[in-house]
C-alpha cells in the first residue's frame, strides 16, 4: 500500500454483498464474465471458477432495486462483474490477448492499471438486460466490446454513438432508467460510464475516498484471482 493509500478509507469485507448468493431470491442473473474461458475481452478466465460476484453494499442496493423495477417490463437484469480486485486487474494485463494488443495499455488506456477506477472498490457494476425467456436485449454491441478508437463516432459501445438503431437506443434507455431511478430513490450518486453502455459506477469523488481491495484484504472464500501472484 502506498503512502497515499494509507490515508484512504478501508472497505471491510462486511461492506461487500454477494449478489451471487442473492440471485435465487431476486430478479437478477449472475454471469461472472471473468470466471469464464469464453469471455469476449480476454478469451481466458482470471477469476476462480467458484468466485462470487461481490458489490459494495450501497451499489448492491441499487442493483437489487433496479432489478425489481424491471419485473413490470418482463425483463431481468444480468450482472457480469462488480468487484475486481487488484490481483485480478493485474492478471488481466498478463493475458495473451492483452499481450497481443500492447496499444491497449498506451494512453488513453483501454484497460485500467491495477488499483485504479471503481471496480477494485466494488463500486462499478456491469449490467445488461434479458427477457424472462432468456433472450438478450440488443444493446448494439455485446458486453465488453472493445474498440481501439473509443470516440463516440467510432465506438458503437459509446453512449453517444451516432448510428444506433431506435430499438438499441430504447433498450439502453430502459437499462439507464432502471439503475438511475433506483440510485435516485436511494439517495445515492450513480454515473453511467460514457464509453461503455454496460458500466454504472459511483463517481470518482466517492470511490477514490476508499483504498482498492486486493485478494489479501479478503477472507479466502471471498477472493477472486484464479492464481496467486
Percent of the residues in the chain that have a pLDDT greater than 70, as a whole number: 97
Residue 170 lies in a domain: yes
Cβ–Cβ < 8 Å for 214, 224? no
The Cα–Cα gap between 83 and 119 comes to: 5
For the stretch 180-208, pLDDT in tens is 999 999 999 999 999 999 999 999 999 99
pLDDT tier at 6, thresholds 50, 70, 90: low
Q: Give me 168's grid cell.
A: 438499441
Residue 27: burial class (beta carbons within 10 Å; 0-12, 13-18, 19+): middle
pLDDT, one tens digit per residue, over 64-84 is 999 999 999 999 999 999 999
Confidence of residue 229 (pLDDT cuts 50, 70, 90): very low
* Residue 228, in any domain of the structure: no
Is the pLDDT at 176 greater than 90? The verdict is yes
Name the nearest CA neighbour of 200 among 208, 191, 209. 191
**Residue 107 lies inside a defined structural domain of this protein:** yes
Rounded CA-CA distance 29/63 in Å is: 11
Question: What predicted TM-score, i.e. pTM, was given to this entire model?
Answer: 0.95
Q: What is the CATH number of the domain that holds 43?
A: 3.30.1380.10
Q: Is residue 127 part of a domain?
A: yes
Q: Is the pLDDT of residue 90 over 50?
A: yes
pLDDT tens digits, 151-170: 999 999 999 999 999 999 99
Q: Whole-angstrom Cα distance, residue 33 to residue 44?
A: 10
Give the max Cα distance, the chain: 51
**Number of separate domains in the chain:** 1
For 38, how many CA atoms within 13 A lie in the half-sphere containing its CB?
Answer: 2
Range of the domain at 54: 5-222
**DSSP labels, 129-178:** EEETTSPBPP-SS-TT---SS-STTT-TTSTT-TT--HHHHHHHHHHHHH
Between CA 12 and CA 171 the distance in angstroms is 36
183: in domain: yes
Statement: residue 2 has pLDDT above 70 = no
Q: In this structure, is residue 59 part of a structural domain?
A: yes
Q: Is residue 54 part of a domain?
A: yes
pLDDT per position as a tens digit, 106-145:
988 889 999 999 999 999 999 999 999 999 999 999 999 9
Amino acid at each position: 500500500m502506498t503512502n497515499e493509500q494509507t490515508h484512504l478509507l478501508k472497505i471491510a469485507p462486511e461492506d461487500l454483498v454477494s449478489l451471487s448468493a442473492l440471485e435465487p431470491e431476486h430478479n437478477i442473473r449472475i454471469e461472472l464474465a471473468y470466471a469464464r474461458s469464453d469471455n469476449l475481452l480476454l478469451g481466458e478466465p482470471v477469476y476462480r471458477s467458484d468466485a462470487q460476484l461481490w458489490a459494495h453494499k450501497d451499489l448492491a442496493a441499487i442493483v437489487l432495486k433496479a432489478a425489481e423495477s424491471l419485473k413490470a417490463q418482463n425483463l431481468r437484469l444480468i450482472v457480469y462483474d462488480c468487484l475486481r480486485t487488484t490481483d485480478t486487474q493485474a492478471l488481466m494485463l498478463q493475458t495473451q490477448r492483452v499481450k497481443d494488443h500492447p496499444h491497449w495499455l498506451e494512453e488513453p488506456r483501454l484497460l485500467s492499471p491495477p488499483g485504479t477506477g471503481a471496480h477494485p472498490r466494488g463500486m462499478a457494476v456491469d449490467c445488461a438486460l434479458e427477457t424472462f425467456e432468456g433472450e438478450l436485449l440488443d444493446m448494439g454491441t455485446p458486453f465488453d466490446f472493445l474498440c481501439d478508437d473509443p470516440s463516440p463516432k467510432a465506438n458503437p459501445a459509446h453512449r453517444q454513438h451516432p448510428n444506433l438503431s431506435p430499438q438499441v437506443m430504447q433498450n439502453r434507455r430502459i437499462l439507464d432508467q432502471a439503475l438511475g431511478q433506483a440510485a435516485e430513490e436511494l439517495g445515492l450518486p450513480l454515473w453511467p460510464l460514457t464509453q461503455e453502455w454496460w458500466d454504472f459506477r459511483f463517481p470518482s469523488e466517492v470511490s477514490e475516498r476508499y483504498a482498492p481491495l486486493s485478494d489479501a484484504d479478503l477472507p479466502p472464500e471471498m477472493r477472486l484471482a484464479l492464481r496467486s501472484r
